[in-house]
Amino acid sequence: MYIELPWVEKYRPKDLSEVIGQQEITKRLSRYVSNQNVPNMMFSGPAGVGKTSAAVALATELFGEHFGQNFLELNASDDRGIGIVRKNIKDFARTLAFNTKFKIIFLDEADALTPEAQQALRRTMEKYTKTCRFILNVNYSSKIIAPIQSRCVIFRFRPLSSKDVDARLDVIAKNEGLKIAKDALVAINYVSEGDMRKAVNVLQASSTLEKDISEKIVYSVSSRARPEEVKELIELALGKKFLEARDKLDKLLYEYGLSGEDIIVQMYRELVNLDKSIIDDKRKIELIDTIGEYNFRLVEGANERIQLEALLAQFMKPEK
């Protein structure tokens, strides 16, 4: 039975030249390929910016047809304990590479490893340095112990620009027979925030509804409100129009199906971008602090509806 791949996998870069938005990093990695020598590395950065794609593309260029025998990909979040280091990693590292100088172990989400597992890993990295190289993929490098960091060359990946995201989506759209409106591209960038994986998933979800992708479809499938509507909610609250602001909140909650935390995150983004003619910087700082407090309350399990309406009430209070 044929199973259609998700577009994230279907359009994964096949070599380093296809990894977009990280040109400085891919240049350095290409030099390693040309020299046939790779150090232990740590790829650090937010989700969906090409860390896994760069690692797989690097190994593909290095090993060619022997990729499967010389590349091991493990996800540390599946098993975070010391057992994954003592068994899976050590068993692979101790065997000789096939038709090449060394193997590569790619440890995805390595910052999920327990401190004990990381201590075991540091010794394994030392012991098998002649036959094996490690690539650690992390979102937060600070969660990796210093001895491991000192054994790695650290590459810091940055969020992708809207130009990079648009270019890749354009390639996918042409291959899949889609038409993406300009305002839909803006919406996808707003939703994805530099995360290519999320952008591709949103595009694929949108394509299941229509071949002509519009802004409305993008916000619908991503369960996000249009920025203009969140901005209107804030302006109503600042204008002390509580009932109108409450009605707008109802629309966001029930028509878009947003969670309370989703609304608070979007309120934060739109508040930061509000013009000074609407709110001055001092008041903006006070309200950002207030949003942080109410976000904490929601995370701790407080009643969603009460907290959101209380937050609107805070926007109506006079400036301190």
Which domains does the chain possess?
7-156 (3.40.50.300), 162-221 (1.10.8.60), 227-316 (1.20.272.10)
**For residue 300, is pLDDT > 60?**
yes
| pLDDT, average across residues 204-232 | 90
Per-residue pLDDT tens over the stretch 40-91: 999 999 988 999 999 999 999 988 888 888 888 887 666 666 666 777 777 7
**For range 259-285, the mean pLDDT:** 89
For the entire predicted model, the pTM comes to 0.82
- At 236 the pLDDT is 93
Integer Cα distance of 235 and 241 in angstroms: 9
- 5: buried, middle or exposed (CB in 10 Å: 19+, 13-18, 0-12)? exposed
- Long-range interactions of 260-264: CB distance < 8 A, separation 24+: 260/298, 260/304, 260/305, 260/307, 260/308, 261/295, 261/298, 261/299, 262/223, 262/224, 263/225, 263/230, 263/308, 264/291, 264/294, 264/295, 264/298, 264/308, 264/311
**Residue 224, Cβ neighbours under 10 Å: how many?**
21
Mean pLDDT of the chain: 88
3-state secondary structure of 72: strand
Exposed e or buried b for every residue in 74-95, given b needs 16+ CB within 10 A? bebeebbebebbeeebbebbee
Identity (one letter) of the amino acid at 292? G
Residues 6 or more apart in contact with residue 256 via CB below 8 angstroms? 219, 220, 223, 224, 225
Most confident of 9-13, 128-132, 172-176: 172-176
φ, ψ for residue 136, nearest 5 deg: -100, 125
Q: Angle at CA 137, nearest 5°, toward 79 and 164?
A: 135
